[in-house]
Amino acid sequence: MAHSLLLFGVALVSAMTDAGAILTPAYKDPSAPVEVRVEDLLSRMTLGEKVLQLCQYSLGKDINVNNMGERLSRIPSGSGAVIYRGGDRELRNSVQRRMMEESRLGIPLVFGYDAIHGYLTTYQVPLGQACSWDTSLTARLCSAVAQELRDEGIEWTFSPMVDVCRDPRWGRIVEGYGEDPYVNSAFAAASVTGYQGPEAARGDYSRLQDGRGVAACIKHFVGYGASEAGRDYVYTEISDQGLWETWMPPFKAGLEAGAMSVMSAFNDISGIPASACSYTLTTVLRDKWGFDGVVVSDWGAVEQLCRQGYCSTLKDAAAAALCAGVDIDMQSSAYDSFLEQLVSEGRVGEQVIDEAVRRVLRLKFRLGLFEHPYLEPAARQDKGEEMKEACESMAAESSVLLKNDSALLPLRSCRRIAVIGPLADDGDALTGCWRAGADASMTQTILSAVRQEFDGRCKVGFVRGCDVEGNPDRGGISAAVRLSSRSDVVILCLGEGARWSGENASRQHPRLPEGQLRLLKALRRTGTPLALVLVGGRPLILSDVVDDADAILETWQPGTYGARSVAGIISGRINPSGRLAVTFPRSEGQIPIYYGRRSPARDAGAGLYKDGSSEPLFPFGYGLSYSMLEYSNLRVGKAGDGFEASVDVTNKGSLDAQEVMLWYIRDVVAGVTRPMYELKHFERLDVPAGETVTFSWSIDPGRDLSFVDRKGERHLESGDFVIYAGGPPATALCCPLTLP
Ligand code: GLC
C-alpha cells in the first residue's frame, strides 16, 4: 500500500512537472521528498545502471593523477562509491564530473574513507578514548573530523568500529572501545552523533546536506572482535545468546543514534560468514531493527566467501552476499561482474537489486550529493585549534595511572630528568594506526613535551637506549645507564610501534620486546626512581615489568597533540582520571579475561589456575588519581517507576580531581545466567579538592535490570539485584535492590 502511494506520489510529481512543462524529473527536484526522488530515479534506471550503484572502487592511497590515470579510467561512469583519501580537490571533482556528465542519469558518487581517530591530525585511539569515559568529548572530536572530511570532499567515514574485544592478541582491539558491550554502545552512539549530528537520529539530515556532517558506518557487523585466538580474518565461535548480549548491542546503539550505514565483517560467525549471513544482515538488521540505510561489505569480503569455503565461485559469492543483505560490494568486483547474469538466469530477483539500490540512492539524497556533487571552492573551516584542544583533553582524560609507589608522580622536586627509551622521541608511535591524512612528523613527541613542560625548572637529558624492536642502538643501554645514574628520575618510554596493533597485527605475545625489557632492568639496577610511560594499542602483559617501575602511566596512542598532556600528568599540571575499559591479563594463559564473567559453578577457590593467580594484573575500571577520593553513603531508593541510586565522593587531596563513576548491576537469579557484574551507566564529574560531590543514576528497570535471551527477546524478572558504584567491580561499594 505504502509503496503504491509512493509510486502515485512519483507519478503525481512527474505529472505536475509535465503539466508545468518543466522538464526537471522528480529525482532532480530538491523540494520533493527523498522517498519520492528515490522511486522516481529507480524507475528510470536500467539493470546495468542499478548494478553499478552497488559497486565501490578505490582511488587508492596514491592520488597522483599521473600514476592513477589508468585506474581512474577503469571506474565506470555511474558507479556507486569510491574509497578516496583526499588531498586533491581537483582530482576529486574531475572524477565526480565524469560520473555525472558521462552517465545517462547523472547520479553522483559518494566518497568514503577511514577516519577512525582523526583525519588531518589524529587524536587518541578508540581504545584509549574508552578509558576517558567521556562520550561528549568523543562526539566533539568526531564532529570536528566530519567538517575536515567534508572540506576535503569526503562524505562517508568507515567509523566507528564498535567490535567488543576481550583478547589483547587481536591487533584490532585498538580500534574499538574495549571489552564491554555497554561502553562500546555508549561510544558508538557518541561517535555517530558527532559525525552526523544529533538530528539525523530524528530523520533530519540538514547538517549532512549543508556539508557539515558525514555518514557514519558502524563496523564490523558482527562479532569480529571474537576472532579465534586473537588471529585476524578467522572463525568466531558465537552463540545466539552471545550475539544478542555481547556482540550486537553496540550496533543497535549506533543505529538508534541514526547511523546511516553498516559495514559487514570478514569473520565466519559459527559457520556462516558475516558478509553472507541473512540472519544478522536481514532478519536482525532490517526486519527486527528496521534499518533503512546501506550495508557495505568490508574490503574484498564478498570475494573472500570463496576463500572461506562458503562459495565456490565469485558469481556464487555475489548472489550469496546480495541476497543476505550486503548492498555495496567493496573492492571484490563481484557485483559488477555477475549481478546482471544472475538476474537474467533467474538466480537473483531484480527486486532484490532494487531494494539495495534504493538504500544507496537514499544515502546520496540524504547527503545532499545531487545538489552539491562537487567540492565548492568555499574556504575550509579550519578546525585545527578546536582539534588541538580536544586532542589534548582526550589524551589527558584517557591516560591511566596504573601504579604510583611512594607518589613518585607528579614530579615535584627533581632537577635532572632522564627521558629514555625508543618511544620517547617517536612521534610516529603516538600517531597510531589508521592515521588517514595525518602527518606523523607533526606529532609532538614525549621528549619534546617534557622539555617544554619543565623548561626552566629541570635539566632534561635523553638517550634512546634501543629501538622499538629492542635492538640496542649507538651507545645503547650503557649510555642510558650513565644518564640514569646522574639523574634524579627516569621517565622511560616503552611500548609498541604504531602498526604493532590495528588490522592484520595479531601478536601471540602481547608484551614488551626482550630488548626493551633489558633496558628497563638495567635502569632499575641504577636505583634511580623510574616512571614507565607506556605507548601502544593494546593491554600488554606487564607481569614481568610491574615490579621494575615505581610508577606506570598507560597513554595508549594519544595522537598528534597528545604528548603535551602526558607531560602535564608527569608534572602534576593534570590530575590523571582515566580508568581501564579493558582488562590487563597477567599472562597469555588467562586470555580471554574480562570483568563480566558468569558466576562459576563451584565456590571460590575451585576451578582456578593452579600455577598462578587467576586475577588480572589490572582489572577493568582500574585507574589511580593524584587525589585521595573517598566513596561513601551509597543509597538506592524508589523514584517514580524506577529507582534513584546515589553515592558521595569526597576529595581528601589538595588537587582538584575529575572522577569517573562506574555503575554496575548484578541480577542474582535469572532465567538466563547473568554476568556477576554488568556495567549499566557511567559518569565523569569534577571533584574539587576538599569537597564532596554526589554521583547519581536513575535506574529504569526495563532498560537497566532486564536481560535479553538468545532470540533477542528482552525480559524483566522480579527478584534480587545488587547495585555497585566505583571503579573495578570487586572494590566497588554495593547495595541490594529488590524488584517486586
Ligand atoms: C579494511 C578494514 C575496514 C576498513 C576497510 C576500508 O580491510 O577491515 O575496517 O574500513 O578495509 O579501508
Q: In angstroms, rounded to a whole number, what is the distance separating the alpha carbons of residues 722 and 708?
A: 18
Predicted pLDDT of residue 355: 98
pLDDT surpasses 70 at 67: no
Query: What mean pLDDT is predicted for residues 716-732?
Result: 97
The answer to whether residues 187 and 130 touch, using CB atoms and an 8 Å cutoff, is: yes
Torsion of CA 539, 540, 544, 548, to 10 degrees: -70
To test ligand 1's pocket by mutation, which of 298, 331, 332, 433 has the most ligand atoms within 8 angstroms of CB? 298
User: Which ligand 1 atom is the nearest neighbour of the CA of 158?
Assistant: 10
Residue closest via CA to ligand 1's atom 7 equals 299
Least confident range from 93-102, 467-476, 485-494: namely 467-476
Residue closest via CA to ligand 1's atom 10 equals 158
Predicted pLDDT of residue 58: 87
Q: Does 399-590 match 45-366 at the fold level? A: no
To test ligand 1's pocket by mutation, which of 503, 504, 506 has the most ligand atoms within 8 angstroms of CB? 503
The answer to whether residues 605 and 573 touch, using CB atoms and an 8 Å cutoff, is: no
Predicted pLDDT of residue 563: 98
Class of domain 45-366: alpha beta
* Between residues 508 and 12, the one the model is more confident about: 508
Predicted pLDDT of residue 6: 61
To test ligand 1's pocket by mutation, which of 59, 83, 84, 114 has the most ligand atoms within 8 angstroms of CB? 114
Burial of 693 (0-12, 13-18, 19+ CB in 10 A): middle
Which strand (E) or helix (H) includes residue 630?
A: strand 629-639
Enter the C-alpha cell of residue 3: 509503496
Where do the structural domains in the chain lie, given as residue ranges? 1-35, 45-366, 399-590, 629-739
Which residue spans within 519-592 are E strands per DSSP? 530-535, 551-554
Residue whose entry in the numeric block shows the C-alpha cell 609507589: 405
Least confident range from 139-153, 381-395, 440-454, 614-628: namely 381-395
pLDDT surpasses 60 at 206: yes
> 437 falls in which pLDDT band (50, 70, 90)?
confident
* Between residues 380 and 24, the one the model is more confident about: 24
Query: What mean pLDDT is predicted for residues 518-528?
Result: 98
To test ligand 1's pocket by mutation, which of 119, 220, 232, 263 has the most ligand atoms within 8 angstroms of CB? 263
Helices (H), ranges, 20-154: 34-44, 47-53, 65-74, 89-102, 126-130, 135-151
> 381 falls in which pLDDT band (50, 70, 90)?
confident
Query: What separation in Å is there between the alpha carbon of 300 and the centre of ligand 1?
Result: 9
Question: pTM to 2 decimals?
Answer: 0.95
The tens digit of pLDDT for each residue in 487-503 reads: 999 999 999 999 999 99
Residue closest via CA to ligand 1's atom 6 equals 299
Query: What separation in Å is there between the alpha carbon of 589 and the centre of ligand 1?
Result: 30
The tens digit of pLDDT for each residue in 209-251 reads: 999 999 999 999 999 999 999 999 999 999 999 999 999 999 9
pLDDT surpasses 60 at 18: no
Residue 632 vs residues 238, 638, 643, 734: alpha-carbon distances, Å: 40, 19, 19, 10
Enter the C-alpha cell of residue 98: 565524469
The tens digit of pLDDT for each residue in 412-432 reads: 888 999 999 999 999 999 999
Helices (H), ranges, 553-608: 563-571
* Between residues 74 and 465, the one the model is more confident about: 465
Residue closest via CA to ligand 1's atom 8 equals 298
Name the residue type at position 733: L
Least confident range from 99-103, 204-208, 615-619: namely 99-103
Query: What separation in Å is there between the alpha carbon of 149 and the centre of ligand 1?
Result: 17
Query: What mean pLDDT is predicted for residues 18-41?
Result: 85
> 393 falls in which pLDDT band (50, 70, 90)?
very high
Burial pattern 165-185, b for ≥16 Cβ within 10 A else e, equals bbbbbbbbbbbbbbbbbbbbb
Q: Is the dihedral of CA 692, 180, 568, 576 positive or negative?
A: positive
What contacts 726, CB < 8 A, 6 or more positions away? Answer: 621, 631, 661, 662, 732, 733
What contacts 698, CB < 8 A, 6 or more positions away? Answer: 639, 642, 643, 644
Query: What separation in Å is there between the alpha carbon of 213 and the centre of ligand 1?
Result: 21
Query: What mean pLDDT is predicted for residues 448-470?
Result: 97
Residue closest via CA to ligand 1's atom 11 equals 299
Predicted pLDDT of residue 660: 98
Query: What separation in Å is there between the alpha carbon of 263 and the centre of ligand 1?
Result: 9
User: Which ligand 1 atom is the nearest neighbour of the CA of 300?
Assistant: 7
Query: What separation in Å is there between the alpha carbon of 651 and the centre of ligand 1?
Result: 45
Query: What separation in Å is there between the alpha carbon of 184 and the centre of ligand 1?
Result: 19
Residue 655 gets which letter from DSSP?
S
Q: Is the dihedral of CA 196, 197, 199, 205 positive or negative?
A: negative
To test ligand 1's pocket by mutation, which of 125, 149, 158 has the most ligand atoms within 8 angstroms of CB? 158
Helix (H, G, I), strand (E, B) or coil at 335: helix
Query: What separation in Å is there between the alpha carbon of 588 and the centre of ligand 1?
Result: 27
The tens digit of pLDDT for each residue in 295-315 reads: 999 999 999 999 999 999 999
Burial of 7 (0-12, 13-18, 19+ CB in 10 A): middle
- 298 among known catalytic residues: yes
Name the residue type at position 238: I
Q: In the structure, which protein residues have their CB atom closer than 6 angstroms to any atom of ligand 1?
A: 114, 158, 219, 298-299, 503
Q: In angstroms, rounded to a whole number, what is the distance separating the alpha carbons of residues 511 and 522?
A: 18
Of 491, 363, 361, residue with least CA distance to 10 = 361
Question: Catalytic: which of 40, 134, 163, 298?
Answer: 298
Query: What separation in Å is there between the alpha carbon of 522 and the centre of ligand 1?
Result: 41
Helix (H, G, I), strand (E, B) or coil at 99: helix
The tens digit of pLDDT for each residue in 32-49 reads: 999 999 999 999 999 999
To test ligand 1's pocket by mutation, which of 84, 299, 303 has the most ligand atoms within 8 angstroms of CB? 299
Q: In angstroms, rounded to a whole number, what is the distance separating the alpha carbons of residues 345 and 125?
A: 47
Predicted pLDDT of residue 17: 45
Query: 629-739 has which fold?
Result: Immunoglobulin-like (2.60.40)
Residue closest via CA to ligand 1's atom 1 equals 299
CATH number assigned to the domain covering 399-590:
3.40.50.1700
Query: What separation in Å is there between the alpha carbon of 51 and the centre of ligand 1?
Result: 22
Of 196, 183, 182, 191, residue with least CA distance to 138 = 191
User: Which ligand 1 atom is the nearest neighbour of the CA of 219?
Assistant: 9
Query: What separation in Å is there between the alpha carbon of 530 and the centre of ligand 1?
Result: 40
Of 198, 209, 10, 179, residue with least CA distance to 108 = 209
pLDDT surpasses 60 at 16: no
* Between residues 477 and 63, the one the model is more confident about: 477
pLDDT surpasses 90 at 474: no
Query: What mean pLDDT is predicted for residues 280-306?
Result: 98
Query: What mean pLDDT is predicted for residues 604-609?
Result: 87
The answer to whether residues 585 and 418 touch, using CB atoms and an 8 Å cutoff, is: no
pLDDT surpasses 50 at 21: no
Query: What separation in Å is there between the alpha carbon of 299 and the centre of ligand 1?
Result: 6
Q: In angstroms, rounded to a whole number, what is the distance separating the alpha carbons of residues 580 and 89?
A: 41
Query: What separation in Å is there between the alpha carbon of 222 and the centre of ligand 1?
Result: 14
User: Which ligand 1 atom is the nearest neighbour of the CA of 263?
Assistant: 10
User: Could you tell me whether strands 55-58 and 81-83 are parallel, antiparallel, or unpaired per DSSP bridges?
Assistant: parallel
Mean pLDDT of the chain: 94
Helix (H, G, I), strand (E, B) or coil at 660: strand
Of 285, 260, 212, residue with least CA distance to 365 = 260
Phi, psi of 215 (to 5 degrees): -70, 130
Query: What mean pLDDT is predicted for residues 672-699?
Result: 98
* Between residues 65 and 267, the one the model is more confident about: 267
User: Which ligand 1 atom is the nearest neighbour of the CA of 220?
Assistant: 9
Enter the C-alpha cell of residue 15: 505529472
Burial of 397 (0-12, 13-18, 19+ CB in 10 A): buried
